[in-house]
Amino acid sequence: MAEETKLVDGGSFVDLSNMPSMDELLQSAGTGSEFTKGKIREGVIVAKRPDGALVDIGYKAEGFVPASEFLKYDEAKVGDKIDVLLEEVENEHNMPSISLEKAYSIKAWNKITTEYGEGYVTKGFMRHRVKGGIMVDVEGFPAFLPGSQLDIGPVRNMDDYIGKEFDVKIIKINLERRNIVVSRRELLEESLRERRSALLKTMTVGELRQGVVKNITDFGAFIDLGGVDGLLHITDISWGRISHPSEVLEVGQPIEVVILSIDDVKERVSLGYKQKTPNPWDDIAAKYPVGSKITGRVVNIMPYGAFVEIESGVEGLIHVSEMSWTKRIAKAGDVVQVGETVEAVILDIDRESRKISLGLRQKDPNPWEVLAAKYPVGSRIKGKVRNMTSYGAFVEIENDIDGMIHVSDMSWTRKINNPNEILKPGMEVEAVILDINPEQQRISLGLKQAESDPWSEINNLYKVGDVVKGKVTKIAAFGAFVELSNKIDGLIHISQLSRDHVEKVKDVLSVGDEVEARVIKVDTEERRIGLSIKAVSEGFSEADLKAAEEEYTAALKPGESMVDMGEVFSNEALSELKLN
């Protein structure tokens, strides 16, 4: 702090570096002239003017003290006695030059340094602002009050303190530079600690206390309880779910809270707000039994489901899987919106975890169960093919419910590798209900079961030695498949195409060719019919027919699928065709 510092606008503080001490003044008072420069004298105010006062010190002329040197000039009265410092016996106006504030400063400095010292508490009058703080009149001496020591919290405008008097604590005295630093904050903090300690002793866990919301954070709110700040954590604000304390509270709001815990050592208080009301989860199971219907408001939507407020503090979740019996819901927002009122069914209650599972679809009958009652196993249905995969086709039955026809249930006579071999989207088919599982929401259909199995009458249809006609449907490396009547396929092995050696089947036959062949083998277990073209020619004896059957049997071992082999070799054949 500079040795010369402004006291008020237009004035300046005293430079005390060259001023005599009180002892020196007392010594000079008993020696020499009655009016000595640098001596403190008692004077009387004889007149007040707007700019200052005339003071009689017993000299032939009065001295003048500016109004700015008075601590409270408006309270000074004519006749008041004051001490002044005689700076000059006579000035250019033949008047004594006197100073009120310098006299006060000298007396105050000596009193502060000899009687008070650091740590002393006294009154301080806030005179005016300076850089970094306020100049304060302490016992008549100008002391510096830093802005950081003015109050407990941040000070927005120090001008609000000017002209007021507060208790201050002397925290530093610099004898060399003759300056003093004071603090108001330390006294406030000491007072606050005392009040906090006293207030904490009056509190008990479980009691209700009035307070005011002081500050709001992401994790909770601080409540001023009249000298002690308590923390109201976000989890103790509401029995329900809130994302931020500001959804319920605002700064300055009066609030009644419950004391949850008190830490006397750390002087911390935990508060509760929701604890003022009974926990709605205590009797939740009795209030909302499983299977009952509720009406609530959608308060939050996540991709996996929607949260519904059943009552204040109680929410339930409708999972996307519980929103529709027949449709696959990708996002909950596709079905419900925030703020919408919905009716749902209680599916499950976990009181410990405070979770309630709700169902939106359960308010309506389960169409899968309805369908199971309407179409028992063995029933025939008609529907359109809606979708196909590599393993089957989905056929609409009713109410957006599909049944699946697996490729293995599409034909009695042919090995179907892909449903598009016989079905197309939009095609209407007749099928048989093979199985209905409402829990897994699956219906199995059979296409071939809608027709009789021709193999059950195969011995009446075809016998070894019969001459048959058919159309080539597939070319394999080892032979050709021919469609006979009743949609039954027979196989002409490459060895049975001609009496002459055949290198490649495609050299002799093509898909679509009409052929005549003789049945040389009927295998009901393997569901195979062996055909031979060369056996049709004249001169083919019974012995030759037997030899052809043995040759065919040797070429296809039992358990080996003609169609699977045909598929493999037909692909090879196709590759060869492309290469050629």
Q: Classify the C-alpha dihedral 498-502-507-509 as positive or negative.
A: positive
Average pLDDT, the chain: 83
Span between the terminal Cα atoms of the chain, in Å: 106
pLDDT tens digit string along 294-352? 999 999 999 899 999 998 888 999 999 999 888 888 899 899 999 999 999 999 999 88
Residue 5 φ then ψ, to 5°:
-135, 135
Long-range contacts of 56-61 (CB under 8 A, 24+ apart): 57/84, 57/86, 57/96, 57/98, 58/34, 59/35, 59/89, 59/96, 61/90, 61/94, 61/95, 61/96
SS3 461: helix
- pLDDT classification of 576: cutoffs 50, 70, 90: very low
Pairwise CA distance, residues 565 & 524, whole Å: 19
pLDDT computed for residue 11 by the predictor: 38
Percentage of residues in the chain with pLDDT exceeding 70?
Answer: 89
C-alpha torsion angle, residues 465, 470, 475, 478 (rounded to 10)? 0
**352 shares a domain with 315:** yes
SS3 107: helix
Instruction: Specify the number of domains making up the chain.
Output: 6
- pLDDT classification of 563: cutoffs 50, 70, 90: very low
Q: Tell whether 4 is covered by a domain.
A: no
- pLDDT classification of 20: cutoffs 50, 70, 90: low
Domain boundary among 302, 329, 361: 361
Which ranges of 98-242 does DSSP label H, i.e. alpha helix? 100-111, 185-202
Pairwise CA distance, residues 576 & 557, whole Å: 26
**509 shares a domain with 463:** yes
Q: Tell whether 48 is covered by a domain.
A: yes
Q: Average the pLDDT over 483-502 and give the result.
A: 86
What residues have CB less than 8 Å from 306, skipping those under 6 apart?
298, 300, 317, 318, 332, 335, 336, 342
pLDDT greater than 50 at residue 8: no
Instruction: DSSP for 544-566, please give it.
Output: HHHHHHHHHHHHS-TT--HHHHH
Q: Tell whether 309 is covered by a domain.
A: yes
Q: Are 404 and 444 in contact (CB under 8 A)?
A: yes
**424 shares a domain with 488:** no
Exposure letters 386-416 (e unless 16+ CB within 10 A, then b): eebeeebbbbbbeeebbbbbbbebbbbbbbb
**301 shares a domain with 244:** no
Domain boundary among 56, 78, 107: 107
pLDDT computed for residue 578 by the predictor: 37
- pLDDT classification of 441: cutoffs 50, 70, 90: confident
**128 shares a domain with 173:** yes
Q: Average the pLDDT over 523-551 and give the result.
A: 80
pLDDT computed for residue 181 by the predictor: 92
Q: Tell whether 112 is covered by a domain.
A: no
Q: Tell whether 436 is covered by a domain.
A: yes
pLDDT computed for residue 119 by the predictor: 86
- pLDDT classification of 28: cutoffs 50, 70, 90: very low
pLDDT tens digit string along 94-151? 899 998 888 877 877 878 887 788 888 889 999 899 999 999 988 778 889 998 889 8
Element at 395 (helix H, strand E): strand 392-398
Q: Tell whether 196 is covered by a domain.
A: no
Judged on CB neighbours under 10 Å (0-12, 13-18, 19+), 227 is middle
**123 shares a domain with 90:** no
pLDDT greater than 80 at residue 5: no
Closest listed residue to residue 41, CA positions, set 54, 59, 21: 59
Q: Tell whether 197 is covered by a domain.
A: no
**575 shares a domain with 476:** yes
CATH of the domain at 294: 2.40.50.140
Q: Average the pLDDT over 352-368 and give the result.
A: 89
Measured in whole angstroms, the distance separating CA 133 from the mean position of its chain's CA atoms is: 45
For 409-450, the three-class secondary structure string (H helix, E strand, C coil) is HCCCCCCCCCHHHCCCCCCEEEEEEEEEECCCCEEEEECHHH
**164 shares a domain with 178:** yes
Amino acid letter at 50? P
pLDDT tens digit string along 147-198? 888 988 888 898 999 999 999 998 898 878 888 899 999 888 888 888 888 8
- pLDDT classification of 435: cutoffs 50, 70, 90: very high
- E-strand ranges in 438-570 read 442-446, 467-475, 479-483, 489-493, 514-523, 528-532
What does pTM read for this prediction?
0.47
**467 shares a domain with 570:** yes
**165 shares a domain with 72:** no
C-alpha torsion angle, residues 339, 343, 348, 351 (rounded to 10)? 50
Closest listed residue to residue 420, CA positions, set 390, 445, 446: 390
Q: Tell whether 403 is covered by a domain.
A: yes
Pairwise CA distance, residues 42 & 31, whole Å: 17
**322 shares a domain with 288:** yes
Domain boundary among 44, 73, 107: 107
User: What is the residue whose two structure tokens read 């039992």?
Assistant: 558
Domain region containing 30 = 22-107
* Bridge partners, 517 (sequence order): 468
Which ranges of 228-291 does DSSP label H, i.e. alpha helix? 284-287
Pairwise CA distance, residues 2 & 183, whole Å: 19
Tell me whether strands 467-475 and 428-437 are parallel, antiparallel or unpaired: unpaired
Q: Average the pLDDT over 237-243 and give the result.
A: 84
**301 shares a domain with 271:** no
Closest listed residue to residue 130, CA positions, set 233, 258, 6: 6
